[in-house]
């Protein structure tokens, strides 16, 4: 019952975050839940389903301690039914394979089954961290001869008060406080229940992750010790009852966790009582007592003369049904409420409740703390003695009753707590723990636990776009994002409306560093050396200053890691200085990085720079380069524009070569590509170079797959997008329009502009052409009137557009492109073939792959004339070559979609990347905790 209650709270929280849940009960508990109305006749919930496995127990069997031996033995029979169910779930017709298992810490048989099937498993521990640590010591207690007890006399001769001072994180605890099982007289080899509990604890420690229903402030020392001593990663996510009250999902309200029907009328009775006047009594779901003990408690509570509400389960009495004598019922009439079960959280939250007489089960203890209610403690078995010890001695909210209390002791203790100074102190401390619990689950505290990633792109459009997409994907998964632009690009983004005046977004902030450039300058195109120098030299000190401020900010959001552009590798040195892990994002294809990584070797072999201009046209550039890993039959000309340099000390060539080598020094490289597209070169990079490689593209499709509506206002365009072009496209037939865009950095002469213009126009197909204000070399692009007259009604000219939406539009048939990597990948992702006119950097490599490896492109000559251009368009729009290219493009579209769907390579790699980033946050927290502990000892 108790374990069911808390583990369903974990699932409710996961379900509220979009997880699909298969909740597996054993048959006996499931039928009891149905009868109690806990599942409201299993009302169908979207993404939340209940399933059962056989346990061999009748649904009528009790759950009290008297049935515990049969109950625990029955759990051992669940292995095969669980294995069979898991196989069915893992190969379902709906495609929803099992991502992971969250199993209870006394159901660890699931670990073996999970391992057999290759499914990750996490263990949920429904005990406190202190309770678990105590149980984990049982083998050592036996080894040291401290338990089992030699005879009955050891229970009362003071032996149980022996101080145990060697358990990590648990100072000066007594032997009696380590749970009921230490008082066993049975030989360890024959004590089934104790051995079961001890074995389950040891098995739990074999899991990769343990989840605790507790919070760090409450059990700081023991949680730190568990993290330090044992291998599993530890997540303390409680109080779960309070977490679930924050879920706004009304559909989950029908799912309750009670094995008994709750008598909610008790809440109305409490309404009639004064504030802080009522004693609440509940010994939990498994305690069983004698009739004599029942009446001692009853008269002790009654004789205190305070109103009380007492939960007496039908199976509370050992060997029979609990029935109170008439004289007792007459005595408590009007001030005593007896119920068989109740909604405990609502009761403890009620203002009339002043004190909780409890068995100290962990749920009851944590709920009492969460609602600020002090406790009178009568621990019964298992971990309850440990919880009692902490409640009374560590947290100051409890007072322990002796094991066999008489009525006078009980009534006296109740009066002391209700009226005396001790009770006043306990209430004050309980309220402080309530505040601490609330603080642990509030947004600020949760934010502290979120990984904080600093993203810094190279300040050009083709680099900002994909970095923003990575940032959005991480933000969607709960990461805090600091997106760092240089002043040059940031001001352009603001002017374009890309950031909607920097509207404040939860967990996503924009920051800037100085680059010494004017935002109005055309320095990127006109003076590339000045621009690259600014990135390499001017940005270092401002970035270092910003990073230190972020890492030691007063809000406590320390930087977990940096994701930096592969053209901004100065950040690697700064990250190392400040002590922050860094990952490099490469916005090129894997083929592009592999090429740039060869530039030093090309120079060493004397292949570049070219000896003079004649080498550009004399066939030399057609030299086959056959020694680059993963790149077969590629020509020198296909290795990027910089191989055509004739300068012995070409600054851009050196910059790109240096950045590529620096990138390969990173621990991780992220690519916007997918494995099927660049299988050979990705394999070669993984084999030849040290960094771990995550291919997680196409990023544009990843973001469309899980849209975050809060991020709609954040765009990454340096130009204002003319969205009316989409309406214009709506007026055309499917696959009839040519889309033309030479990207964000290409510049051309006026002559080349008009050759392209007339070549496109003479094809007689409708077209949409993006002409940036700075496309024309040395001036503003302006088209002749006769050209505008010619294309009227079939040509749409815009200064910038939402490219992904354009390529996704059914009217688009072909893309005349510069072959920038973003454009190439977008075109493949939406199944649009390409007419390729590569301009510079990696575009020649992308063009080669599009035309020769992927079969979706045809290259135009560098100085193509209008007749060649229009002829190629007609061939592609009408001929067999175009048909073949469209078919291949659609196949690549399917491959891209498969890669980002569940089980696809990019989906898997993104999950692995997010897991690695989360581990970095956890490592950071563990280091902080260790430093705190050192300071505490000092």
Active-site positions? 463, 565
Q: CA-to-CA distance for 20 and 12, rounded, in angstroms?
A: 10
Half-sphere exposure of 4 (CA within 13 A, CB side): 21
Q: CA-to-CA distance for 197 and 563, rounded, in angstroms?
A: 45
Phi and psi at residue 803, to the nearest 5°:
-60, -40
User: Are the C-beta atoms of 171 and 177 separated by less than 8 Å?
Assistant: no
User: Are the C-beta atoms of 890 and 713 separated by less than 8 Å?
Assistant: no
Instruction: Identify which of 640, 652, 528 has the alpha carbon closest to the alpha carbon of residue 592.
Output: 640
Phi and psi at residue 764, to the nearest 5°:
65, 15
Helix (H) or strand (E) segment spanning residue 874? helix 866-878
Backbone φ/ψ region at 164: left (φ over 0), alpha (ψ -120 to 50), beta: beta
CB within 8 Å of 67: residues ≥ 6 apart: 61
Q: What is the largest distance, in Å, between two alpha-carbon atoms of the chain?
A: 115
In the DSSP assignment, the letter for residue 254 is G
Q: CA-to-CA distance for 775 and 525, rounded, in angstroms?
A: 10
CB within 8 Å of 232: residues ≥ 6 apart: 123, 204, 205, 207, 208, 209, 210
Backbone φ/ψ region at 192: left (φ over 0), alpha (ψ -120 to 50), beta: alpha
Q: CA-to-CA distance for 387 and 133, rounded, in angstroms?
A: 12
Backbone φ/ψ region at 776: left (φ over 0), alpha (ψ -120 to 50), beta: beta
* Beta strands across the sheet bearing 692-695: 508-513, 480-486, 452-456, 561-565, 582-586, 668-671, 692-695
Supply the DSSP string of 514-543, one letter for each residue: --S--TT--HHHH-HHHHHHIIIIITHHHH
Length of the chain: 938
User: Are the C-beta atoms of 43 and 254 separated by less than 8 Å?
Assistant: yes
Q: Tokens 């530039």 appear where?
A: 599
Instruction: Identify which of 785, 784, 790 has the alpha carbon closest to the alpha carbon of residue 763.
Output: 790
Joined tokens for residue 4: 């069911």
Joined tokens for residue 932: 């705190």
Helix (H) or strand (E) segment spanning residue 363? helix 362-370
Count CB neighbours of 806 within 10 A: 25
Joined tokens for residue 300: 């002790």
Joined tokens for residue 452: 């904080």
């Amino acid at each position: 019952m108790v374990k069911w209650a808390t583990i369903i709270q974990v699932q409710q929280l996961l379900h509220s975050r979009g997880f699909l849940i298969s909740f597996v009960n054993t048959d006996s508990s499931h039928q009891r839940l149905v009868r109690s109305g806990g599942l409201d006749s299993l009302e169908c919930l979207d993404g939340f389903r209940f399933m059962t496995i056989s346990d061999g127990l009748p649904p009528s069997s009790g759950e009290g301690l008297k049935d515990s031996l049969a109950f625990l033995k029955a759990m051992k029979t669940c292995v095969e039914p669980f294995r069979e169910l898991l196989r069915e779930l893992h190969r379902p017709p709906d495609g929803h394979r099992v991502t992971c298992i969250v199993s209870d810490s006394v159901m660890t048989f699931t670990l073996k089954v999970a391992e057999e099937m290759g499914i990750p498993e996490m263990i949920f521990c429904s005990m406190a961290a202190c309770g678990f640590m105590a149980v984990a010591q049982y083998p050592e207690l036996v080894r040291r001869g401290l338990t089992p007890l030699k005879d009955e006399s050891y229970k009362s001769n003071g032996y149980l008060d022996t101080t145990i001072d060697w358990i990590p994180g648990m100072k000066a605890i007594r032997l009696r406080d380590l749970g009921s099982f230490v008082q066993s007289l049975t030989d360890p080899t024959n004590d089934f229940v104790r051995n079961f509990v001890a074995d389950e604890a040891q098995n739990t420690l074999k899991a990769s992750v343990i989840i605790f229903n507790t919070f760090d402030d409450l059990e700081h020392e023991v949680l730190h010790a568990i993290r330090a001593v044992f291998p599993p990663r530890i997540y303390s996510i409680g109080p779960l009852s309070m977490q679930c009250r924050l879920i706004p999902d009304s559909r989950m309200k029908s799912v309750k966790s009670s094995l008994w029907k709750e008598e909610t009328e008790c809440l109305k009775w409490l309404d009639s009582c004064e504030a802080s006047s009522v004693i609440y009594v509940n010994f939990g779901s498994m305690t069983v007592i004698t009739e004599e003990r029942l009446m001692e408690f009853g008269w002790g509570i009654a004789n205190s003369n305070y109103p009380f509400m007492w939960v007496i389960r039908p199976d509370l009495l050992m060997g029979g049904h609990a029935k109170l004598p008439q004289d007792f019922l007459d005595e408590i009439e009007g001030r005593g409420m007896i119920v068989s079960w109740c909604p405990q959280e609502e009761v403890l939250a009620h203002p009339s409740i002043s004190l909780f007489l409890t068995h100290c089960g962990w749920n009851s203890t944590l709920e009492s703390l969460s609602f600020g209610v002090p406790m009178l403690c009568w621990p019964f078995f298992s971990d309850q003695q440990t919880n009692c010890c902490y409640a009374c001695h560590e947290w100051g909210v409890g007072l322990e009753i002796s094991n066999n209390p008489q009525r006078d002791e009980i009534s006296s203790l109740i009066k002391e707590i209700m009226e005396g100074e001790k009770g006043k102190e306990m209430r004050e401390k309980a309220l402080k723990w309530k505040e601490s619990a609330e603080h642990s689950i509030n947004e600020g505290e949760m934010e502290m636990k979120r990984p904080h990633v600093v993203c810094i792109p190279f300040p050009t459009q083709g680099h900002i776009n994909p970095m923003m997409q990575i940032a959005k994907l991480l933000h969607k998964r709960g990461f805090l994002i600091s997106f760092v632009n240089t002043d040059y690009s940031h001001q352009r983004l603001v002017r374009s409306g890309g950031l909607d005046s920097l509207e404040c977004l939860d967990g996503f902030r924009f920051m800037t560093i100085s680059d010494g450039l004017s935002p109005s300058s055309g320095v990127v195109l006109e003076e590339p050396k000045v621009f690259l120098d600014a990135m390499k030299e001017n940005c270092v000190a401002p970035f270092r200053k910003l990073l230190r401020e972020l890492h030691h900010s007063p809000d406590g959001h320390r930087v977990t890691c940096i994701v930096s552009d592969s053209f901004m590798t100065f950040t690697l040195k700064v990250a190392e200085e400040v002590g922050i892990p860094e990952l490099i994002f490469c916005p090129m294809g894997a083929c592009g990085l592999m090429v740039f990584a060869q530039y030093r070797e090309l120079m060493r072999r004397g292949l570049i720079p070219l000896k003079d201009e004649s080498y550009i046209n004399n066939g030399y550039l057609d030299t086959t380069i056959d020694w680059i890993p993963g790149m077969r039959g590629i020509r020198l000309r296909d290795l990027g524009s910089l191989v055509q340099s004739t300068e012995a000390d070409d600054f851009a060539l050196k910059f790109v070569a240096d950045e590529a080598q620096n990138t390969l020094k990173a621990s991780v490289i992220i690519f916007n590509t997918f494995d099927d597209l660049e299988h050979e070169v990705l394999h070669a990079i993984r084999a030849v170079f040290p960094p771990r490689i995550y291919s997680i593209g196409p990023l544009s499709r990843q973001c469309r797959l899980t849209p975050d509506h809060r991020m709609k206002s954040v765009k990454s365009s340096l130009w204002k997008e003319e969205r009316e072009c989409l309406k214009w496209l709506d007026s055309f037939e499917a696959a009839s329009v040519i889309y033309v865009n030479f990207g964000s950095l290409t510049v051309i002469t006026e002559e080349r502009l008009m050759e392209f213009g007339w070549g496109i126009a003479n094809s007689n197909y409708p077209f949409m052409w993006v002409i940036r204000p700075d496309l024309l070399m040395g001036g503003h692009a302006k088209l002749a009137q006769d050209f505008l007259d010619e294309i009227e009604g079939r040509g749409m000219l815009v200064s910038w557009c939402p490219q992904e939406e354009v390529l996704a539009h059914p009217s688009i048939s072909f893309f005349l492109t510069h072959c920038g990597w973003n454009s190439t990948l977008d075109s493949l992702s939406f199944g649009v073939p390409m007419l390729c006119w590569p301009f510079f950097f990696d575009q020649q490599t992308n063009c080669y792959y599009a035309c020769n490896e992927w079969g979706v492109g045809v290259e135009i000559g560098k100085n193509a004339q209008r007749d060649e251009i229009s002829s190629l368009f007609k061939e592609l729009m009408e001929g067999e070559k175009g048909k073949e290219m469209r078919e291949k493009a659609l196949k690549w579209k399917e491959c891209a979609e498969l890669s980002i769907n569940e089980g696809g390579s990019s989906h898997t790699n993104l999950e692995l990347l997010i897991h690695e980033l989360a581990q970095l946050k956890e490592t950071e927290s563990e280091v902080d905790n260790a430093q705190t502990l050192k300071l505490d000892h000092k």
